[in-house]
Amino acid sequence: MSKTAVIAKIVAAPGRRDEAVSVLEKLFSAVSEEPGTEQYILHTDTRDEDTIWMYELYTDDEALAVHSSSETMAIVFGEIGPLLGAAPELIVLEAKRAKATDV
Protein backbone atom coordinates (compact mmCIF):
# COMPACT_ATOMS: atom_id res chain seq x y z
CA MET A 1 0.00 0.00 0.00
CA SER A 2 1.36 3.42 -0.95
CA LYS A 3 1.60 6.31 1.44
CA THR A 4 -0.37 9.48 0.80
CA ALA A 5 1.39 12.84 0.64
CA VAL A 6 -0.03 16.35 0.55
CA ILE A 7 1.58 19.58 -0.53
CA ALA A 8 -0.43 22.60 0.58
CA LYS A 9 0.15 26.15 -0.62
CA ILE A 10 -1.23 28.69 1.82
CA VAL A 11 -1.09 32.35 0.84
CA ALA A 12 -1.48 34.83 3.67
CA ALA A 13 -2.93 38.28 3.21
CA PRO A 14 -0.12 40.80 2.62
CA GLY A 15 1.99 41.20 5.75
CA ARG A 16 0.11 38.52 7.73
CA ARG A 17 2.28 35.46 7.09
CA ASP A 18 3.81 35.39 10.58
CA GLU A 19 0.34 35.47 12.14
CA ALA A 20 -0.79 32.65 9.84
CA VAL A 21 2.29 30.59 10.74
CA SER A 22 1.50 31.04 14.45
CA VAL A 23 -2.02 29.72 13.89
CA LEU A 24 -0.77 26.75 11.83
CA GLU A 25 1.76 25.85 14.53
CA LYS A 26 -1.20 24.91 16.75
CA LEU A 27 -1.65 21.82 14.55
CA PHE A 28 1.64 20.27 15.63
CA SER A 29 0.51 19.11 19.07
CA ALA A 30 -2.51 17.42 17.47
CA VAL A 31 -0.59 15.71 14.66
CA SER A 32 1.89 14.29 17.15
CA GLU A 33 -1.06 12.26 18.49
CA GLU A 34 -2.15 11.02 15.05
CA PRO A 35 -0.47 7.64 14.46
CA GLY A 36 -1.09 7.84 10.71
CA THR A 37 0.59 11.22 10.31
CA GLU A 38 4.24 10.42 9.61
CA GLN A 39 5.60 13.80 8.52
CA TYR A 40 4.15 17.27 8.94
CA ILE A 41 6.48 20.03 7.87
CA LEU A 42 5.75 23.75 7.71
CA HIS A 43 7.85 25.86 5.32
CA THR A 44 7.95 29.57 4.55
CA ASP A 45 8.67 30.58 0.98
CA THR A 46 12.04 32.30 0.52
CA ARG A 47 10.86 34.20 -2.57
CA ASP A 48 7.32 35.18 -1.60
CA GLU A 49 6.91 36.72 1.82
CA ASP A 50 3.20 35.85 1.97
CA THR A 51 3.39 32.16 1.05
CA ILE A 52 3.51 29.15 3.37
CA TRP A 53 3.99 25.57 2.19
CA MET A 54 3.08 22.43 4.10
CA TYR A 55 4.39 18.96 3.33
CA GLU A 56 2.46 16.11 4.91
CA LEU A 57 2.96 12.35 4.72
CA TYR A 58 0.34 9.85 5.86
CA THR A 59 0.35 6.07 6.11
CA ASP A 60 -2.64 5.96 3.74
CA ASP A 61 -5.76 7.80 2.57
CA GLU A 62 -7.61 6.88 5.75
CA ALA A 63 -4.97 8.59 7.90
CA LEU A 64 -5.33 11.73 5.78
CA ALA A 65 -9.10 11.59 6.26
CA VAL A 66 -8.68 11.28 10.04
CA HIS A 67 -6.35 14.28 10.06
CA SER A 68 -8.56 16.37 7.77
CA SER A 69 -11.66 15.81 9.88
CA SER A 70 -10.03 16.46 13.25
CA GLU A 71 -11.43 19.00 15.69
CA THR A 72 -8.09 20.82 15.72
CA MET A 73 -8.17 21.26 11.93
CA ALA A 74 -11.64 22.78 12.16
CA ILE A 75 -10.53 25.21 14.86
CA VAL A 76 -7.34 26.22 13.05
CA PHE A 77 -9.09 26.78 9.74
CA GLY A 78 -11.67 28.93 11.52
CA GLU A 79 -8.89 31.06 12.99
CA ILE A 80 -6.72 31.30 9.89
CA GLY A 81 -9.47 32.28 7.46
CA PRO A 82 -9.26 36.05 8.07
CA LEU A 83 -5.45 35.92 7.67
CA LEU A 84 -5.52 34.41 4.17
CA GLY A 85 -5.16 36.20 0.87
CA ALA A 86 -6.44 33.22 -1.16
CA ALA A 87 -7.99 29.82 -0.66
CA PRO A 88 -5.41 27.14 0.20
CA GLU A 89 -4.33 24.90 -2.68
CA LEU A 90 -3.90 21.20 -1.92
CA ILE A 91 -2.13 18.65 -4.08
CA VAL A 92 -2.58 15.02 -3.01
CA LEU A 93 0.14 12.63 -4.14
CA GLU A 94 1.08 8.97 -3.89
CA ALA A 95 4.52 8.74 -2.30
CA LYS A 96 6.90 6.39 -4.12
CA ARG A 97 10.36 6.85 -2.63
CA ALA A 98 12.02 9.09 -0.04
CA LYS A 99 15.04 9.86 2.02
CA ALA A 100 13.85 11.39 5.28
CA THR A 101 15.68 13.88 7.45
CA ASP A 102 15.14 15.89 10.60
CA VAL A 103 14.40 19.58 10.22
List domains and CATH numbers for the chain: 3-95 (3.30.70.100)
pTM score: 0.91
103 residues of the chain, pLDDT tens digit each: 789 999 999 999 999 999 999 999 999 999 999 999 999 999 999 999 999 999 999 999 999 999 999 999 999 999 999 999 999 999 999 999 888 766 5
Helix or strand run (H / E) with residue 8? strand 3-11
> In angstroms, what CA-CA distances link 102 with 23, 41, 63, 86, 99?
22, 10, 22, 30, 10
